[in-house]
Each structure stands twice: as structure tokens, then as C-alpha cells.
């Protein structure tokens, strides 16, 4: 006969503790499943798209015409429109956002900050569809009254781009302010002690020191602008159009996806598969930008630790 002698401090199994941990781990793992899901679905449907006899990869990447109805699948017009709106958005969002950030962190009194920060928060919390409405009912008429009804079409990439710029502005301002705020106070004092003016201190010491944090911010904003959908769906126009004029209507990648899926599209048609192929490209572009942005901002944080 054996008598099990239990050690007074012997390890306990605590099955339910382990079960809980395993479940929570499963939840965390789900995020990987989502990413894989996105990748698998986009790749699978894109594969179907490119295996369609009407589609060939080279023509897709270099073709200047996107007209699925007649078998033209060149995605340059869509890419071009996406880049046009994004570049316009950045041209407005980056300088204004950066200057707002500089103003907030270097110039504004606590009281002014207390008013401005909530304004930015409100701007950031407004749904993009509302910005789309704003583009259509305010920005477009404004552009048309400035540049003339003949020059500016009712749907145009300039209006959409500018409003995307306004959309990303609070995000740029907030993140840029964080980056600028992370620059040690001692550096500013050193610059002042050498006889630097506030402007010289800001531009030649503070901003260069925050540069990597700022670039991370700008890349993330660019990624956001490229993926923005409702503003372009409402204001940039339906129908692919390869043009370099920002005053003409041109459909972006996201605009096309929304328009096609909004109609009744039947599964396994080329149309259906094409939105996934475009989605894959969108995903790759934004994913790359996000990764680079994250890398840069990690480097930035190491600099000041």
C-alpha cells in the first residue's frame, strides 16, 4: 500500500485557471486569424480574377483603360485617381496639420489648447460619410465658383482630395503634437540659451529632432487617405477616367469597389472578383505604409529613451 504524501507547497493543477488563460490566448490569436482571413480571401479571389481568360496581369498593371463591360482591365486610371486624391489630401493635411501641432505644443497657452484640443477631437469623431456630404455640398460648389463652372466638373478629385485632407488633419495634428511633445524640453532650453528665437528653435531644433515621429505620422495619414472611401464615392465621381486634371471626375480604387459591390453583383463574375483584386492592391499599399510608419516610430521612441 502506498500513501501519497502531498507536499504542503506542492504545485496545484488549477485546471480552470489554465482554461481561462487558454481561452484568452485564443481570443488574442483571433487577430491573427483575421489577418490571415483577409490575406487568404483577397488572394484567392484575386487568383480567380487573374485566371479569367479576359484578364492578364501585365495588362492589369499597365492598361490605361478600366472597362470590365468590354473586357478592358487596366487599373492605372483607378490608381491614378487614388494617388491624385491622396496627394491633394496630403498637400493640405500635412502642412496645416503640422502647423496646428506646432502651434498647440510650442505657442498656445493652456487655455487655448483647452479649447482647440476638443475641436480636433470633434473633427476626428465625425463619420467620413458626413465629410463626403460636405465635399459634395460645400467644397465642390466652392471650387466651381472659384475656378469656373466649365473648368470644374460636378464630380472631381480636387474636392474629394481637399476634404480628405480636412479629414486627416486632426489625426496628423494630434500625432504630430505627440511627436513634437516627446522632444525633451532640455533641447529647447539649450537652443534658447544660445540665443535662438522661438521660430529658429522650432524649425531647426525641435522639428528635426521629431522628424522620424513626424514621418511616421505622415505615412499613416497617407495610408488613411488612400483607403478613404465614402468621400471619394460621393464626390470624386463614378467611372474610371485616366486624367491628371484634378477638376475632372475620376473613380478611385475604393470608389470602384463601393460602386460595384453596392449594385447587385453576382458571385464568381469577373466584376465580383475584380473588387477583391483591387482590394488586395489597396491592402498591400496601406499595409506597407503602416509597417514602415510603425518601424520609424519605434526607432523614434528608442532615440529618446
Partner 1 sequence: MNSLSLAQVLQPGVEQSESQVKKTVLKLEHVNIHYGSFQAVKDATFDIYEKHVTAFIGPSGCGKSTVLRSINRMNDMIRGSWIDGKILFNGHDLYDEQVDPVLIRRRIGMVFQKPNPFPKSIYENIAWGARINGFKGDYDELVEQSLRQAALWEEVKDKLKQNALRLSGGQQQRLCIARTIAVQPEVILMDEPASALDPIATGRIEELILELKNNYTIVIVTHNMGQASRVSDHTAFFMVDDKRTGYLQEYAETEQLFLNPQHRKTEEYISGKFG
Partner 2 sequence: MNDMNGQTAFGLASDVSSLMEKRRRNGLVWHIVFIFSTTLAVLFLILLVFSIIDSVFGYAVLINDVEPSALVAGKESVTDFNRAELENVARTRLSAGILRRVEYDKPIAERSDKDLVSLVEEYVVKPKVLKTWGFWGSLTERKAIETYIGENEGSYATFRSWLTPSFIMADQSADPLRAGIRTALLGSLWIILITFVFAFPIGVGAAIYLQEYAVDNRLNRMLQLNIFNLSAVPSIIYGLLGLAVFVRFMEPVTSGSFIMGTVDNTANGRTILSGGMTLGLLVLPIIIINTQEALKAVPDTLRMSAYGVGATKWQTIWYQVLPVSVDRILTGTILALSRALGETAPLVVIGASTFISVDPSGIFSKFTTLPIQIYQWSARPQGAYRNIAAAAIVSLLILLLLMNSTAIYTRDKITKKKRLEA
Site residues (vs partner 1, CB under 8 A): 109-110, 184, 186-197, 200, 204-205, 208-209, 303
Length of the chain, please?
305
**Residue 64 vs 294, nearer CB to partner 2:** 294
Contacted by 205, from partner 1, partner 2, none: CB < 5 to 8 Å by type: partner 1
- Minimum CB separation of residue 2 from partner 2 in Å reads 30
Q: Which is nearer to partner 1, 166 or 205 (CB)?
A: 205
The binder of partner 2 chosen from 34, 61, 91, 189 (CB under 8 A) = 34
The option from partner 2, partner 1, none interacting with 76 (CB < 5 to 8 A, set by class) reads none
Provide the CA 174 distance to its chain's centre, in angstroms.
Answer: 15
The residue assigned the cell 488612400 is 226
Q: What are phi and psi of 252, to 5 degrees?
A: -95, 175
Q: Is 64 in the site for partner 2 (CB under 8 A)?
A: no
Instruction: Specify the DSSP class assigned to residue 210.
Output: T
Site residues (CB under 8 A) for partner 2, limited to 129-188: 129-134, 136-138, 166, 169-170, 173
- Nearest approach, Cβ of residue 3 and partner 2 (Å): 27
> Residue 73: which H helix or E strand, with range?
strand 72-73
Binding partner selected for residue 166 from partner 2, partner 1, none, CB under the kind-specific 5 to 8 Å limit: partner 2
Residue 192 binds which entry of partner 2, partner 1, none, CB below 5-8 Å type-dependent: partner 1
Residue 14 or residue 204: which is nearer to partner 1 going by CB?
A: 204
CB atoms within 10 A of CB 265: 15
Residue with cell 470633434: 122
In angstroms, give the least distance from the CB of 187 to partner 1.
6
- The x, y and z cell numbers of residue 216, run together, are 511616421
Quote the least distance from Cβ 1 to partner 2, whole Å: 34
Question: What is d(CA 145, CA 134) in angstroms, rounded to the nearest whole number?
Answer: 16
8 binds partner 2 per the rule CB under 8 A: no
CA separation for the pair 166, 229 (Å, rounded): 14
**DSSP assignment of 8-60, as one string?**
TTPPP--HHHHHHHHHHHHHHHHHHHHHHHHHHHHHHHHHHHHTSTT--HHHH
Q: Closest distance between partner 2 and the C-beta of residue 230, in Å?
A: 5
Instruction: Please check whether residue 77 is in contact with residue 278, taking contact to mean a CB–CB distance below 8 angstroms.
Output: no
Question: Residue 150 binds which one of partner 2, partner 1, none, with CB within 5 to 8 A depending on kind?
Answer: none
Amino acid at each position: 500500500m502506498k500513501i501519497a504524501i502531498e507536499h504542503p507547497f506542492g504545485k496545484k493543477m488549477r485546471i480552470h485557471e489554465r482554461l481561462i488563460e487558454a481561452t484568452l490566448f485564443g481570443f488574442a490569436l483571433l487577430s491573427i486569424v483575421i489577418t490571415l482571413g483577409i490575406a487568404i480571401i483577397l488572394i484567392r479571389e484575386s487568383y480567380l480574377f487573374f485566371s479569367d481568360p479576359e484578364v492578364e496581369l501585365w495588362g492589369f498593371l499597365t492598361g490605361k483603360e478600366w472597362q470590365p463591360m468590354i473586357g478592358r482591365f487596366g487599373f492605372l486610371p483607378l490608381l491614378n485617381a487614388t494617388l491624385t486624391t491622396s496627394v491633394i489630401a496630403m498637400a493640405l493635411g500635412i502642412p496645416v496639420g503640422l502647423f496646428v501641432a506646432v502651434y498647440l505644443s510650442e505657442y498656445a497657452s493652456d487655455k487655448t489648447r483647452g479649447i482647440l484640443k476638443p475641436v480636433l477631437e470633434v473633427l476626428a469623431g465625425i463619420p467620413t460619410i458626413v465629410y463626403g456630404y460636405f465635399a459634395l455640398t460645400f467644397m465642390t460648389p466652392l471650387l466651381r465658383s472659384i475656378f469656373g463652372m466649365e473648368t470644374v466638373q460636378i464630380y472631381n478629385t480636387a474636392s474629394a482630395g481637399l476634404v480628405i485632407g480636412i479629414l486627416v488633419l486632426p489625426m496628423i495634428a494630434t500625432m504630430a503634437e505627440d511627436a513634437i511633445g516627446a522632444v525633451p524640453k532640455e533641447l529647447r532650453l539649450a537652443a534658447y540659451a544660445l540665443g535662438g528665437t522661438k521660430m529658429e528653435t522650432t524649425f531647426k531644433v525641435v522639428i528635426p529632432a521629431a522628424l522620424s515621429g513626424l514621418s511616421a505620422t505622415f505615412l499613416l495619414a497617407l495610408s488613411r487617405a488612400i483607403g478613404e472611401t465614402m468621400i471619394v464615392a460621393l464626390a470624386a465621381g463614378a467611372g474610371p477616367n485616366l486624367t491628371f486634371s484634378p477638376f475632372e471626375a475620376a473613380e478611385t480604387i475604393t470608389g470602384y469597389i463601393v460602386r460595384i459591390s453596392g449594385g447587385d453583383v453576382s458571385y464568381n463574375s469577373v466584376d465580383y472578383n475584380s473588387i477583391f483584386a483591387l482590394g488586395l492592391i489597396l491592402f498591400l499599399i496601406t499595409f506597407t505604409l503602416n509597417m514602415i510608419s510603425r518601424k520609424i516610430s519605434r526607432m523614434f521612441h528608442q532615440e529618446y529613451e
